[in-house]
A and B are shown apart, each in its own frame.
Chain A
Amino acid sequence: MDAIPQPARPVLEEDLERIRSVTLAMGDLVDQAIHRATDALVRRDVAIANEVIRGDVAVNALQADARQLCFTAIITQAPVARDLREIMGFQHMAGELERMGDHCVNIARVARDLADLPPLGDYVDIPKLSQQVAVQVRDILSALVAHDVDRARATAARDDLVNRLYHRLVDELILLMSENPENVYRGTNLIAVCQNFERIGDRVTNLAEDLVFLEAGDIEELG
């Protein structure tokens, strides 16, 4: 068979590259938003919280771009097999990243509401939970760049660590609230923060499943 010049499907390859780039750009924004939302909470900084809330517009816009690029590639390039899995996988990932951005907005809103109140138990170990979730997000994005299915599986397996931290924090916050009714308002809000971080961790697992599907064609339940 005669050699076909590579890439044999330049338009599709270009579309896929753009979809990957947009998705990874979303990942970077979410990574920043996690850090900034945690900063806003710990420093009780309304300005940073507002930046996170406003910044979500960019994440949403990128998701709309990703959706449009995926749609266009499907109708104009009729992708199949790996190409189709990649498009479907990235489209789903963009949805997950958009929701992660929303979780950061929720955390930033709580940070704004609590900014004028004294910290509760130095916010217990919420920064530790945030840090672990941020590590998870960065790890899954690295796995995505490297097409590394094993790394994705390992990242998903570490979601247990996030869950354990989450449950411990909730227990601690419940204890603080039971000790003093004045802690209830801040405590319930901080439980909501923990829940948002925990949900980001779950979405990292979803991204890992997407990566396995995209690379290997297998639908695996990693959670």
Chain B
Amino acid sequence: MSQLPMIAVRPNEMATLAAETQPEPQPAMQVRGLGVRFGSKLVLSDVDMSFPTGRITALIGPSGCGKTTFLRSLNRMHDTTPGAVVIGTVLLGDTDIYSSDIEATQVRARIGMVFQRANPFPTLSIYDNVVSGLRFNGIRKRAILDEAAEGALRAAALWDSVEHKLRTSAMRLSGGEQQRLCIARALAIEPDVLLMDEPTSALDPIATMRIEALLRKLCERVSIIIVTHNMQQAARVSDYCGFLMVDDARVGHLIETGPTVSIFSKPRDSRTEDYVTGRIG
């Protein structure tokens, strides 16, 4: 029998092919009936969604639809917001992260976060930034910290450019490097899930592409959930997408989830189609 030519399949195409032929991977996280209220104002309601392990899931939707609110509820970032109430269940594996016997710090040790603007600790060196999470968790052994720092910086594609200046201030790095440093800092604690809130919106196109290339490698070791305003970025980097939108009362709802290629080629809901084609925004 003649040999068929090998065809390179992109990872997010794989997700679509996989979704058609086999069940999606076990969820790293799941939310059931999730809602978020600030005082009397309900901003997110009744969200059910799964985030597959080892995959990149993008949350997309118009401004004000609750994407960031949703993301922040996934590692209890609303705990310190006055008046914020999170309703429903958020599972990390089998663990409800809002269970009364679980501390927010325990949750954040397993669910890292990278923000829109790079936020390295300004008074700390590159090295100290990377190991800050480990030190916060009580790890003091130099060998362990060194190994974790190198591993995280390599994973964040930053090791080669900072290897010889680990003791210099993190603020000496470029914007793109600072963001990768923040990714390295989040990775150093070896989280199960990495939340990213528009991680490239403050970066130039080259730095953006480097981060996007990095995400694809990172999802081999961590499940990623990314909020992005940039639909092309969602199409480029993610395996799965969730589209959110506000209703007439300006409450955010999850409209549709699915493999990214499906969302951008044949969405099920007309509102998703209107959004991804730029008819609403």
Determine if chain A interacts with chain B: yes
Q: Which residues of A in the span 49-85 have a Cβ within 8 Å of any Cβ on B?
A: 78-85
Question: Min CB distance, B20 to chain A, in Å?
Answer: 12
Q: How many residues does chain A have at the interface if contact means C-beta atoms less than 8 Å apart?
A: 15
CB distance from B161 to the nearest CB of A (A): 32
The answer to whether A9 and B278 touch (CB under 8 A), given A80-B265, A81-B264, A217-B265, is yes
Q: How long is the Cα–Cα vector from A80 to B281 in the complex, in angstroms?
A: 15
Q: How far is the CA of A80 from the CA of B273 in the complex (A)?
A: 9
A80 to B231, CA, bound (A): 10
Q: How far is the CA of A8 from the CA of B235 in the complex (A)?
A: 21
| CB–CB B266/A79 < 8 A | no
The residue in B231, B246, B273 that gathers the most chain A C-beta atoms within 10 A of its C-beta is: B273
Provide the bound-state CA to CA distance between A142 and B177, in Å.
Answer: 57
B276 touches A4 (CB 8 A): no
Contact (Cβ within 8 A) A78 B232: yes
Q: Taking the complex as formed, is A174 at the interface, i.e. its CB lies under 8 A from any CB of chain B?
A: no
B164: Cβ under 8 A from any A Cβ:
no
Question: What residues on A are CB-neighbors of B281 within 8 Å?
Answer: 4, 8
C-alpha gap A83/B264 in the complex (Å): 10
**Closest Cβ of chain A: how far from B153's Cβ, in Å?**
34
Taken residue by residue from 259 to 281, chain B's Cβ proximity to chain A (1 for < 8 Å, 0 otherwise) reads as: 00000111100000100111111
Using Cβ atoms and an 8 Å threshold, which residues of chain B touch A7? 279
Report yes or no: B280 in contact with A8, Cβ–Cβ below 8 A. Answer: yes
B contact residues around A117 at 8 Å (CB): none
Cβ-based interface call for B205 (8 A): no
B62, B246, B265, B279: the one within 8 Å of A84 (CB): B265
Residue interface mask B232-248, A partner, CB < 8 A = 1: 10010000000001100
Given A1-B62, A78-B232, A80-B231: A217 touches B266 (CB 8 Å cut-off): yes
Residues of A within 8 A of B264 (CB): 80-81, 84
Using A80-B235, A81-B264 as known contacts, say yes or no to A12 and B278 having CB atoms under 8 A apart.
yes
Q: How many residues of B contact A (CB 8 A)?
A: 17
Residues A80 and B276 in contact, CB atoms below 8 Å apart: yes
**Max chain B Cβ within 10 angstroms of own Cβ: one of A4, A8, A82, A217:** A82
CB-contact partner of A1 in B246, B266, B276, under 8 A:
B246
Q: Are B278 and A8 in contact (CB under 8 A)?
A: yes
Q: What residues of B have a CB within 8 angstroms of the CB of A84 in the complex? A: 264-265
**Distance of A33 Cα from B280 Cα, bound (Å):** 43
Q: How far is the CA of A161 from the CA of B19 in the complex (A)?
A: 39
Chain B residues, Cβ within 8 Å of A79: 277
- Complex Cα distance A85/B261, Å? 13
The distance in angstroms between the C-alpha atoms of A81 and B276, with both chains bound, is 7
Residues of chain A within 8 A of B62, CB atoms compared: 1
Complex CA gap A78/B276 in Å reads: 10
Alpha-carbon distance between A54 and B162 when the two chains are bound, in angstroms = 67
**Complex: how many Å from CA A119 to CA B173?**
85
Closest partner residue, chain B, to A213 (CB atom): B266
Top 3 A-B residue pairs of the complex, sorted by shortest distance between their CB atoms: A217-B266, A8-B279, A80-B264
* Interfacial residues, chain A to chain B (CB-CB below 8 A): 1, 4, 7-9, 12, 78-85, 217
12 additional A-B residue pairs with CB within 8 Å, beyond A4-B279, A9-B278, A78-B232: A1-B280, A8-B280, A80-B231, A80-B235, A80-B276, A81-B265, A81-B266, A81-B273, A82-B277, A85-B266, A217-B265, A217-B266
